[in-house]
Amino acid sequence: MSTIRRPTLLRHIRRVTVVMVVLAAVVPSAAFATDEPSTTLIPPPGTLVGMPIEPYPTDYDICKKGDVRCVDRVIAEMTRRLDYEAERCSHDTAFTLQYLRTTESYRHHVQDPRFFEDNAFVNHEDAVFASYYWQAQDNFRRGRLDLVPAAWRVAFDAAARRAISASGNILLGVNAHVNRDLPFVLEQIGIVGADGRSRKHDHDKVNKIFPRAQPIVTAEMARRFDPTFDDGNFTFTFADDQATIDLIASWRELAWRNAERLVAAPTSAARALVAQQIEDAAAAKARTFVAMTAYGPFSSSRDRDAWCADHGVE
C-alpha cells in the first residue's frame, strides 16, 4: 500500500498557495424541446462503454420543462464519468468529483419547493450547463481541439500531462465552466422569466449550496485521490473550503454580469466582442492557475497517482 507523509511545511505552503490563488482570482478581469429527460443527450450509466462515441452537443432544449429526473440523469452521467476516470487515475477526477458532489447537493435542495422560486427553470439550467462540460471534455478526448474553448483546453491539457496539483485541477475546471461557459448558458436559456422578472434570485440561491458540498469534496479527495488535499485546511475551520466557496460565488456573479452584457449587445458585432472578451479572460485565468499550481522541479504527481491506484476505485 502507498503511504504519503504530510509534513507540517507542506501544510503551510498549501495555505499560502490558496491565499495567493484567491487573491489573484478575485482581481477584476478586463472583460467583464423535449418534455422528458433526454436519453440521447444524457444517457443513463452503463449505456456507453468507455468514452462516448460522439461528443455531447449543447442543446438549449434539454429538459426545457424542468423535470427533476433530468437532474438524476445528470448525476448518473457524472457518476459514470467519475468511475471511468477513477479507474485510470485521471487527474480529471478532481473537477468531476467537485461537480458531482455539488450537483448532488443541488438535488437535495431542489426537493424543497420553497428553496428556489422556479425549480423547473433551475433543473433546465442544470442539464444544459452540464452538457457544456461533457461536450468540451469529449471533444478534447477525441482530439477535436478546435472545438474546445481555450480555457477548457488549458484545463484538460494540464490534467492530461499530470502537471498541476489537485487544487489546480479543480480551479481550472471551475474557471472554465463558470467564467467561460456559464455566461453563454445564461444568455441562451434566458436571464428573465416569461413574466419579465429577473432570474437573478435563483442564480444567487445556488451559492448557498456550496457550503454543504465543499467539505464532502475535500474529505473524499483526500481519501481516494490525493491524501495531501486537505492539508491546507485549518483545524475545525475549513479555511480552504471557505476560500473555494467565496471564489466560486464571486465568479458566478461575474458570469451573470457577462450574460447581461451578451444579452444587451446591440449588434452581432458587439456581441462577438463581448464573447471574445469572456473567452480571453477565462483563458488568461487558466494560464495563471497552471503557473501557480504546477508541480515544482522537485515534485510530481507520482505519490498522488500511487495513492489513487490503491484507493481511487470504491
- As a whole number of angstroms, the distance between CA 147 and CA 120 comes to 30
Contact (CB, 8 A) for 129 and 197: no
pLDDT at 109: 95
- Backbone angles phi and psi of 294, in degrees to 5: -70, 145
Taking Cα atoms as reference points, which of 192, 33, 1 lies closest to residue 124? 33
Percent of the chain at pLDDT > 90 equals 71
- The mean predicted confidence, pLDDT, of the chain is 83
Residue 9 lies in a domain: no
Number of domains in the chain: 1
Only one residue has cell 477584476, namely 28
pLDDT at 243: 81
Is residue 186's pLDDT more than 90? yes
Give me the numbers of helices (H) and strands (E) for the chain, helices first please: 12, 0
- As a whole number of angstroms, the distance between CA 149 and CA 152 comes to 5
Residue 150 lies in a domain: yes
Is residue 254's pLDDT more than 50? yes
pLDDT at 301: 96
- As a whole number of angstroms, the distance between CA 215 and CA 158 comes to 25
Residue 46 lies in a domain: yes
User: How many other C-beta atoms are found inside a 10 Å radius of the C-beta of residue 59?
Assistant: 17
Contact (CB, 8 A) for 2 and 307: yes
Q: Cite the beta strand spans of the chain per DSSP E.
A: none
pLDDT at 64: 87
Instruction: Please tell me which residue, 4 or 261, carries the higher pLDDT value.
Output: 261
Range of the domain at 209: 29-311
Taking Cα atoms as reference points, which of 24, 40, 30 lies closest to residue 288? 24
Q: Which three cell numbers stand for residue 71?
A: 437532474
Is residue 12's pLDDT more than 50? no
Taking Cα atoms as reference points, which of 178, 177, 249 lies closest to residue 213? 249
Is residue 218's pLDDT more than 60? yes
Residue 211 lies in a domain: yes
pLDDT digits (tens, 9 = 90+) for 134-160: 999 999 999 999 999 999 999 999 999
Instruction: Please tell me which residue, 17 or 68, carries the higher pLDDT value.
Output: 68
Handedness of CA 114, 214, 62, 186 (dihedral sign): positive
3-class DSSP assignment, residue 314: coil
Residue 7 lies in a domain: no
* C-alpha pair distances (Å), 131 with each of 70, 73, 74, 282, 285: 12, 12, 9, 19, 22
pTM given for the model: 0.83
pLDDT digits (tens, 9 = 90+) for 160-174: 999 999 999 999 999
41: which residues sit within 8 A by CB, 6+ positions away?
Answer: 56, 57, 59, 62, 127, 131
3-class DSSP assignment, residue 78: helix
Residue 125 lies in a domain: yes
pLDDT at 238: 39
Tell me which of 50-54, 120-124, 268-272 is least confident: 50-54
Residue 276 lies in a domain: yes
pLDDT digits (tens, 9 = 90+) for 29-44: 433 333 333 333 333 3
pLDDT at 25: 52
Tell me which of 22-26, 83-87, 194-198, 299-303 is least confident: 22-26
Is residue 117's pLDDT more than 50? yes
Task: Compute the radius of gyration of the chain from its Cα atoms.
Answer: 19
Residue 264 lies in a domain: yes
pLDDT at 59: 61
pLDDT at 8: 38
48: which residues sit within 8 A by CB, 6+ positions away?
Answer: 80
Q: Quick one: pLDDT band at residue 268, thresholds 50, 70, 90? A: very high
Mean pLDDT of 245-261: 95
CA 153 to chain centre: 14
Mean pLDDT of 271-288: 97
pLDDT digits (tens, 9 = 90+) for 56-100: 555 667 888 899 999 999 999 999 999 999 999 999 999 999 999
pLDDT at 62: 84
Instruction: Please tell me which residue, 89 or 212, carries the higher pLDDT value.
Output: 89
3-class DSSP assignment, residue 247: helix
